[in-house]
Structure 1
Amino acid sequence: MTSYKFHAQPLALAVALAGGVALPAAADIALEEVVVTAQKREQSLQEVPVAVTAIGEDALLQNGVTDITDVQKLSPNTTLQVGRGTNSTLTAFIRGIGQQDPLWGFEPGVGIYVDDVYIARPQGAVMDVLDIERIEVLRGPQGTLYGKNTIGGAVKYVTKRMDEDRMTLSGALGSYNQRDIKVAGSKEVGNGVYIGGAVASFQRDGYGENVRTGKDQYDKDVLSARLAVEFSPSDTVWIRVAADQTTDNSSPKHGYRMNADLTAAEPLSNIYDTESNMLHENSVETRGASLTAEWQVSDSVVVKSITAYREGETETAIDFDSVNRPDFDVPAFYEDDQLTQEFQLNWEGDNANLVSGLYYYDGTATGAFDAVLGFINLTQQVAGTVDTKSLSAYAHYNWQFAPDWNLSLGGRYTQDTKEAEVFKANFIGTYSPLFAEKYNPGQPPAVYLNTLTDYTNDDTWSRFTPHLGLDYKINGDLMVYATYSSGFKSGGFDMRGDASTLPSTVDGFDPETVDTFEMGVKSDLFDNRLRLNAAAFYAGYTDMQVTVQAFNPGGGFSSAVLNAGEARIQGLELEASLAITENLLANMTLGYADAEFIEFMSGGVDVADERDMQNTPDTTAMLQLNYTWPMANGAELVINPTLSYRADTQIFETPSQLDQEAYTLFDMSATFYSSDDKWQLSLVGKNLTNEEYRVAGYNFGGAFVTGFYGAPRTVALAGNYHF
């Protein structure tokens, strides 16, 4: 078995050809072709004029990828991290663009897709790897083929199709009492009718504890299941019906208090510990069902329909102050549902092809939370609902107008309509009647004082997002391309908006847009032993949705979301893979992002010089060796050491104590493949030097500064057995 069969991460040319040394000839050493669906049709990675990283099944196993956040190190200029105060909410940024605030009513800037089904909310989006064929990371705006809210890029899960009887039993034991078990498989139950799926339990004790109670912090308690039926009623029709559900009952994750509490001289000694008084359960449930049908109308035309429904519920307890008092406690719940329908028509001609379609989205996101400000005996309740309807039509046309020359033209027209109900009120005391019974039992609820916001409003936004591209094959192994792409993130209404201090909040905020120019090269050199892909990009980011929150002098807090920002982002990306010998691969990624605010309006003043892009280190890099040690009986042992680097990172736009200095993580795995390929055994070590690094946090004017951290050193023994 050759490692990294579908892996598109790579090693720098400087390493590959250091000193100008030529590679020794070896006809049987070559990198294998990588197939992706970045343009909604199967293509070789090297023929796609898009900056995309593809991580296949072998690479996922050898890198010990257990959920989407493990992919961060494998893709340049990419941030995929667990959000603050949660175990399953995703914070995603690509090329400086994303969305950190998971509140209902806000839209992400990086689209998450499972088998072409769009996942609209970040809650539950830290998905565990379950029967996955590959993961693709598309960088840059994907506004034509993937629509709104992909202005940073898109992450695609591609699950396996069922075409054989198979069964796999997987398990893992590791640090902090990790104990995972997965069962996945498929079975032909009739002529061409397959039923299959997977079920998995992921369990782990906490990295820290609540020092007041001894309860775990940063633990994991997740149960996931997926069921599918696939069949072909004729030679030209294929149908899949699928359903899935994930339940996350991990403990609430409270932060580490970085500034000294009034009752303590120094912060706690363990960054994973807390002193929170919020001892309540945390629950995130997501579920969905989909129907996918493909009809091969002719040799050149395929029609596809994707119908999907998803819903989720979250109950969570967020302790902003992370001390044993209700100085700033936030009990909250979120609910969402979405219905999506996409029709695609794909045409393939002799020298041209077309991907086109219609897309409809109908979703509702609702929620409520209390901002319990015990230090002033005040509670602010925020509640609301956003109904969204979106309809779009798109087309992406490729035309080979001359030998080795290809022109791509695309466009998408989208119309978004949102209706919002927003309510915000002050209560004297702690915990409003909505949350008092659960979070403050036996005590009288807070008493209503006054209403700050109470409105219903709607708005409609329309956008056309074009694409223009040109690529040229210099020879069969080298392609250069240039593209222009546009995208936008939906407008909306601020659920925290305080109409008493900012009356214009009832009018909502408009979409933000990104226009990106990119030039790149895709190359397979030295008889396909060196794969070198590079891209340079420039993005103009306008009408940025800037969130400003502050405490009011009279008590409570206020929030404003304004189209008050403009930025430019330019950078470089390099991915390479080198087959040094028949058994040794070297891989590297390198990303550079120069992001700068041009305008940042706050209180009527342009403070662009005092702000920086959040979650956007200027440099990300990964260097990896992959050595396959063949054994006499046909078995193989694959050794996979990895260094990943992230430069200084600012958690929010405003510099603060939360900002994370540059750090390097060292991971290493050893994977044994049996001679009959029926079982694998992996020893996976992550963060082996036990680096401490922040991935999120809260900072309210220095009064409450709490940090959330990446995982410490962990080691796990994982195995797969294929029946």
Structure 2
Amino acid sequence: MTRMPTMLHTGAALAALIAAAPAFAQDVPAAAETTTAADAGSGEIVVVARRREERLLDVPIAVTALSGNDLAKQQAIDLSGVQGTIPNVNMVQGRGSASNANIFIRGVGQPDALQTFDPAVGVYVDGVYMSRIQGALFNLFDVERVEVLRGPQGTLYGKNTIGGAVNVVSKKPNLSTLTAAGSATYGRFDQILLNGYVSAPLVTDKVALSIAGVWDKRDGLVTDPLTGRKYNDRDTVAGRAILRARPTETLELIAAGDYTRQRTAATLGYATATLTNINLLTGASINVKPGYPLGRYDYRTSTSLKPGQGQRLDHWGGSLTANLELNDIFSLSSITAYRRLKPDYYIDFDATELQVADAFVGVRQRQFSQELQFKVDTGKLNAVAGLYYLREHITSHQESYDDNYLRLGAVPVTFTRYIDDDQLTHSYAAFGQATYDFTDQLALTAGLRYTKEKKRYFRTTYTVLAGAATAPFVFPNSLPAPFNADDTATFDAWTPSATLSFKPTPDTLLYGSASKGFKSGGFNGRVNGLGDVTQVINGVTTVVPNFAPETVWTYEVGAKGSFLDRRVSISADVFRSDYKDFQARVGGGTTGVAGGSFPVVNAGKLRIWGVEAELAVRPTRQWNIRANLGYLNAKYLEFNDSRRAPAFSCNPTGNAITCRPAFTPPITYSLGSDYAIPLGEMGSVTVGGDMRFVDKHFLSVDNRAGLKEPGYYLFNAFVQFDAAGGRYYVRGGVKNITKTLYRTDGQEFSSVGNIQTVYYGDPRTWSVTAGFRF
């Protein structure tokens, strides 16, 4: 009953949007690049969601496009800045890291940064897939737009992604005109943000070069009351250079290189449950209390990490894109890319001054990808056929420091675990999608993809207990025969898609679609003993050395339209997803002196359905109104991990009202507006702001009370002065005006010391920016 007012409110809002459908549409009359904050332009948003330039209105996909101007209005510095502004999309900073991206779309995602898990939502930068969620929280310093595609993607994109795709499109060098932009920001917590961009033709109409850079530094938000040291800071330097050449009318070459460097203190969460340790003499768990007590969070928490034990990340890569027009019908594209990722993180999992579970994680990742596309455009037929190859080699060295976890009677036992692992992945795919226009109004799109992935995994781990090293556990060598030679797994799948679209008028679109998504299986990257890969199946103890793939079928109907000279617009869709073999890292139980067990099981079947609507209104040239609404109904049809011995559960308390999928807030909505006040020859002043709501949701598969966000509102506002001509501006902004405390992510290792840690979003912040553009 307590949900009834919220549901009635949401239903009324949704009904209003649907009732307005004949008069609204999705693509607001705003250009991708805007000359001033007061004038959003009069052009239409053009996207490349289907690997060709199209009006957003003409794309029969649930996709949201945010221009550089939109991102500035939302005061977004990195991808997490759009959290709460896209229906049914959760996009936050990942647990325990300054650069990890935790992205869920329509209840499908993968928050675990472990290298043996593939992301469920693909992040692409200029067509290049990023294999890891580490380093994926990109700063938005030279972005033309961000496209967020909801639902499975695979028949158009090089790497199959089961939940959706985030497509970051950089500004491309202008072949004929010199352009430049820059800004300097100062804000609360001594924030300093410097952005710069310049594009210059080297050979007019033939060759151009652009260079962009950012320096983002801010003091820590979190204070350790026991030491006074600051944590959760920002310190990023990043740059990108793009060389664009058009040697002939039919050939375009784009070479790009980027580098990101981060040096920060640790990212601390907050413990929400009483920690425990284990008495090795009795096997009993005993509560332990840190010096800083649990209670209402106030951006203070303690840690056992020492000075210098922070986070370092180096992430760089290069790509070469070639586009060749063979004739008026056929064209070829090639995207070749190489990337390296090198994060070194110290993480305090228990978020106290005790060493119940602290860790060092050093990762070394390299990836090479090659994509070839063959495109056909006959007018009635538009088609893309492609081949894709990805080679990823990732290694890690980990050390877990747990000196307050075990004890002999009253005597603490020092305990350190050392881990080295190595995974090599080869991914191959062939994909294609074709759209045939039967008439100017009716079109059919069909696509098919075949994916094959081969993974090889090796791991060795041992512990030093009370100064004595244990015998190492080696995967797969320590498993019983024949599994001791089973270090390789291969997964493949056919994933089709089909869409029927109808345009009653040139500026309205109706569509229905069905598509299948696939996420590869893999190996448990936390296997420390035989118990982590053992299940009891039909009463027989069985070794299961790897987990199976996930699949999802998504069915969707939607509508888009643009009316009143593109001053009012709307898009809306209804979808249902049947999600099978959900890969869950569940918690509970113990395995020997090493402590907790960390199984990964294909535990669940989910049914997810929802509604999404986006509205934009431009009553006058100076006034913009935008709103979106997402409703998500996600539940397990099955969560069956009883084959494990001992059994684990997403419902550890036995309360029948829990066991809910994580990161699936039932309701999300936002409302934003900005109004430009002309000042004659002086220029203009724009006043704007937005409100965002994210409903209650769990922050981990294990639905414990402390790992839950009860729902929150955020309020943000800005005012901007643009000088006449739009070349110079000054902006002041405030985020989280009401000082809302809200949780963004959770860390659950309840099988080790009852660890249940949450991470919080930023407190109220303010900033002042001065910038130029020409």
**TM-score (ref. length: structure 1):** 0.92
**Hey, what's the Cα distance between the residues in 1 that align with 2:23 and 2:181?**
44
Is 1:256–2:270 an aligned residue pair? yes
Number of equivalenced pairs: 693
**Hey, what's the Cα distance between the residues in 1 that align with 2:572 and 2:18?**
15
Which of 700, 713, 717 is equivalent to 2:764?
A: 713
Q: Which moved more, 1:250-259 or 1:486-495?
A: 250-259
Is 1:582–2:609 an aligned residue pair? no
Following superposition, the deviation at residue 44 of structure 1 comes to: 0.4
Indicate the SS of the match to 1:364.
strand
**Hey, what's the Cα distance between the residues in 2 that align with 1:210 and 1:268?**
15
**Hey, what's the Cα distance between the residues in 2 that align with 1:469 and 1:17?**
25
Indicate the SS of the match to 2:708.
coil
**Hey, what's the Cα distance between the residues in 2 that align with 1:687 and 1:29?**
25
* Moved segments of 4+, more than 6 Å: 15-18, 27-31
Which of 38, 56, 66 is equivalent to 2:77?
A: 66
Following superposition, the deviation at residue 585 of structure 1 comes to: 1.8
Following superposition, the deviation at residue 351 of structure 1 comes to: 0.9
Whether the 8 Å contact between 2:314 and 2:343 is mirrored in structure 1 is yes
Give the counterpart letter for 1:461 in structure 2.
F
Q: Which moved more, 1:249-258 or 1:35-44?
A: 249-258
Match of 1:530?
Answer: 568
Gapped regions of structure 2 (runs ≥ 5): 1-12, 30-38, 275-287, 407-413, 477-485, 535-542, 651-655
Is 1:199–2:213 an aligned residue pair? yes
**Hey, what's the Cα distance between the residues in 2 that align with 1:333 and 1:239?**
36
Give the counterpart letter for 1:246 in structure 2.
T
Give the counterpart letter for 1:50 in structure 2.
I
Which of 462, 465, 477 is equivalent to 1:428?
A: 465
**Hey, what's the Cα distance between the residues in 2 that align with 1:79 and 1:355?**
30
Deviations 1:508-535 (A, max 9, x none): 1121011100000011133422211001
Is 1:560–2:630 an aligned residue pair? no
Q: Which moved more, 1:118-127 or 1:545-554?
A: 545-554
**Hey, what's the Cα distance between the residues in 1 that align with 2:346 and 2:454?**
31
Match of 2:285?
Answer: none
Deviations 1:7-49 (A, max 9, x none): xxxx97837989x999xxxx99996411111101000011000
Is 1:599–2:619 an aligned residue pair? no
Match of 1:642?
Answer: 690
**Hey, what's the Cα distance between the residues in 1 that align with 2:49 and 2:109?**
19
Q: Which moved more, 1:600-609 or 1:272-281?
A: 600-609
Is 1:50–2:61 an aligned residue pair? yes
Give the counterpart letter for 2:621 in structure 1.
E
Is 1:219–2:233 an aligned residue pair? yes
Percent of paired sites with the same residue: 31
Indicate the SS of the match to 2:84.
helix
**Hey, what's the Cα distance between the residues in 2 that align with 1:499 and 1:326?**
22
Give the counterpart letter for 2:630 in structure 1.
G
**Hey, what's the Cα distance between the residues in 1 that align with 2:749 and 2:457?**
27
Match of 1:447?
Answer: 468
Deviations 1:647-689 (A, max 9, x none): 1011012322120111110011122222112122221211110
**Hey, what's the Cα distance between the residues in 2 that align with 1:134 and 1:57?**
5
Following superposition, the deviation at residue 269 of structure 1 comes to: 6.2
Which of 4, 14, 17 is equivalent to 2:16?
A: 14
**Hey, what's the Cα distance between the residues in 2 that align with 1:320 and 1:271?**
19
Q: Which moved more, 1:702-711 or 1:167-176?
A: 702-711
Whether the 8 Å contact between 2:23 and 2:561 is mirrored in structure 1 is no
Deviations 1:434-470 (A, max 9, x none): xxxxxxxxxxxx4321334432610111111101110
Cα-Cα RMSD: 2.4
CA spacing shift, 1:654–1:76, aligned 2, 3 Å: same
Equivalent residue runs for 1:154-233 within 5 Å? 154-163=165-174, 164-191=177-204, 192-233=206-247
Following superposition, the deviation at residue 479 of structure 1 comes to: 1.2
Deviations 1:47-104 (A, max 9, x none): 0000000001211112211100012222110011111111111111000001010011
Is 1:544–2:593 an aligned residue pair? no
Deviations 1:198-254 (A, max 9, x none): 111100011122223322111110000111211111121111111111011011112
Which of 83, 90, 107 is equivalent to 2:94?
A: 83
Which of 708, 715, 721 is equivalent to 1:672?
A: 721
Whether the 8 Å contact between 2:683 and 2:724 is mirrored in structure 1 is yes
**Hey, what's the Cα distance between the residues in 2 that align with 1:336 and 1:21?**
50
Which of 424, 432, 436 is equivalent to 1:399?
A: 436
CA spacing shift, 1:369–1:549, aligned 2, 3 Å: farther
Equivalent residue runs for 1:34-45 within 5 Å? 34-45=45-56
Deviations 1:92-122 (A, max 9, x none): 1000001010011110100000000000101
**Hey, what's the Cα distance between the residues in 2 that align with 1:283 and 1:407?**
49
Q: Which moved more, 1:556-565 or 1:95-104?
A: 556-565
Whether the 8 Å contact between 2:368 and 2:391 is mirrored in structure 1 is yes
Whether the 8 Å contact between 1:12 and 1:588 is mirrored in structure 2 is no
Whether the 8 Å contact between 2:417 and 2:461 is mirrored in structure 1 is yes
Whether the 8 Å contact between 1:143 and 1:485 is mirrored in structure 2 is no
CA spacing shift, 1:582–1:186, aligned 2, 3 Å: closer
Indicate the SS of the match to 2:470.
strand
Following superposition, the deviation at residue 698 of structure 1 comes to: 2.3
Whether the 8 Å contact between 1:519 and 1:536 is mirrored in structure 2 is yes
Equivalent residue runs for 1:184-583 within 5 Å? 184-191=197-204, 192-259=206-273, 262-264=289-291, 266-267=293-294, 270-279=297-306, 280-375=309-404, 376=406, 377-429=414-466, 446-455=467-476, 457-504=487-534, 507-552=545-590, 554-555=592-593, 556-583=595-622
Indicate the SS of the match to 1:59.
helix
Indicate the SS of the match to 1:501.
helix
**Hey, what's the Cα distance between the residues in 2 that align with 1:232 and 1:148?**
28
Gapped regions of structure 1 (runs ≥ 5): 1-10, 430-445
**Hey, what's the Cα distance between the residues in 1 that align with 2:631 and 2:379?**
39
Following superposition, the deviation at residue 506 of structure 1 comes to: 6.0
CA spacing shift, 1:343–1:529, aligned 2, 3 Å: same
Match of 1:652?
Answer: 700
**Hey, what's the Cα distance between the residues in 2 that align with 1:502 and 1:321?**
22
Whether the 8 Å contact between 2:172 and 2:242 is mirrored in structure 1 is no
**Hey, what's the Cα distance between the residues in 1 that align with 2:418 and 2:734?**
44
Give the counterpart letter for 1:243 in structure 2.
G
Whether the 8 Å contact between 2:446 and 2:498 is mirrored in structure 1 is yes
Deviations 1:350-381 (A, max 9, x none): 21110121111001111132232212132333
**Hey, what's the Cα distance between the residues in 2 that align with 1:294 and 1:427?**
56
Q: Which moved more, 1:594-603 or 1:708-717?
A: 594-603
Which of 664, 670, 683 is equivalent to 1:616?
A: 664
CA spacing shift, 1:338–1:482, aligned 2, 3 Å: same
**Hey, what's the Cα distance between the residues in 2 that align with 1:16 and 1:93?**
25
CA spacing shift, 1:13–1:681, aligned 2, 3 Å: farther
Q: Which moved more, 1:287-296 or 1:501-510?
A: 501-510
Indicate the SS of the match to 1:717.
strand
Whether the 8 Å contact between 2:292 and 2:302 is mirrored in structure 1 is no
**TM-score (ref. length: structure 2):** 0.86
Whether the 8 Å contact between 1:409 and 1:467 is mirrored in structure 2 is yes
Deviations 1:604-627 (A, max 9, x none): 379676411111101000011121
**Hey, what's the Cα distance between the residues in 2 that align with 1:401 and 1:270?**
60
CA spacing shift, 1:581–1:575, aligned 2, 3 Å: same
Following superposition, the deviation at residue 541 of structure 1 comes to: 0.3
Whether the 8 Å contact between 1:599 and 1:606 is mirrored in structure 2 is no
Match of 1:433?
Answer: none
CA spacing shift, 1:379–1:38, aligned 2, 3 Å: same
**Hey, what's the Cα distance between the residues in 1 that align with 2:201 and 2:712?**
49
**Hey, what's the Cα distance between the residues in 2 that align with 1:569 and 1:338?**
33
Whether the 8 Å contact between 1:688 and 1:713 is mirrored in structure 2 is yes
CA spacing shift, 1:29–1:371, aligned 2, 3 Å: closer
CA spacing shift, 1:518–1:606, aligned 2, 3 Å: farther
Whether the 8 Å contact between 2:89 and 2:106 is mirrored in structure 1 is yes
Following superposition, the deviation at residue 634 of structure 1 comes to: 6.4
